[in-house]
Amino acid sequence: MKTKLLVLLCAAFGALQINAQCARSGNFVQSDPAYSISGTASLTFTTGGNKDVIFDSNFMTVQGLDLRVYLSKLDDILAPGADPIEVTTGPLLGDNGMTSPVLSPITGMKTFSINQTTYPNVDLGTYDYIVIQCIGINERWGYVNLGAVNGPDCALLSVNEKTLSESVTVYPNPANDYFEISNDSQNELAVEIYDILGNKVIASEASRVKKQSFSLANLNSGVYLVQLKSNNQKVVKKLIKR
């Protein structure tokens, strides 16, 4: 059992962290009978990575006067409280590589990354719609009602979240008789410490405190593995006691 645990801890140490992968998706709803639109789209999220709006390969619509893509809290970006976020950096191009003529086809998979510099403090969990808007005539082409989060590790949906490895610090390292863990994000954090043989020597219940101190006075000098768990993320850091 200890051997298995040690292998798992060492593997976790080598990988450093488990990235969360999540998605919310839905089908396009045509808003105006004059402008066809269909297909599926999703909002995808990877902890420590990109946050993207993706149109699937079955996407199809027609060209307009400056089509733009938004994330919105409501299906109408002009409604009070919609708080739209534009995810395009320019007009949608048609299959001909142009923005004209009007009603020429736009088809196929497209990916739009959310600009984390422009929108550094946005909670993606509050945005339930993808909207295509024709800016030239202020007309909504269509929208997607995003469904529930789907993925193995979907604890967070903020644009600016830090990975667990970035937001938690173990110091001093090397340490003498004590060390501290700084939990800058103050997410619920559980701590377990193992010696190199896989024996658990210290454990703490999950806590949101910003700083925790741990005594090493009763432990021998050597290498220890500090396992940190928070919001479906896990990271193992090496700690040396002098």
Quick one: DSSP state of residue 94? -
The CATH class given to the 2-18+163-241 domain equals: mainly beta
Q: Would the CATH topology of 2-18+163-241 be identical to that of 21-145? A: yes
Phi-psi region of 69 (alpha: psi -120 to 50; beta: other; left: phi over 0): beta
Q: What's the average model confidence in pLDDT over 125-136? A: 92
The model carries a pTM of: 0.59
Most distant pair of Cα atoms in the chain: their distance: 76
Pick from 97-101, 152-156, 234-238 the range whose average pLDDT is largest.
97-101
For 48-69, the pLDDT digits (tens) are 567 889 999 899 999 999 999 9
Domain parsing of the chain, residue ranges? 2-18+163-241, 21-145
For 146-168, the pLDDT digits (tens) are 987 666 545 444 444 456 777 78
**CATH entry 1.10.287 includes domain 21-145:** no
Surface-to-core class of residue 215, CB atoms within 10 Å of its CB (0-12 exposed, 13-18 middle, 19+ buried): exposed
- Whether the CB-CB separation of 165 and 178 falls below 8 Å is answered with no
Return the higher-pLDDT residue of 39 and 48.
39
For 184-199, the pLDDT digits (tens) are 777 788 998 988 777 8
Asked if pLDDT for residue 169 goes beyond 80, the answer is yes
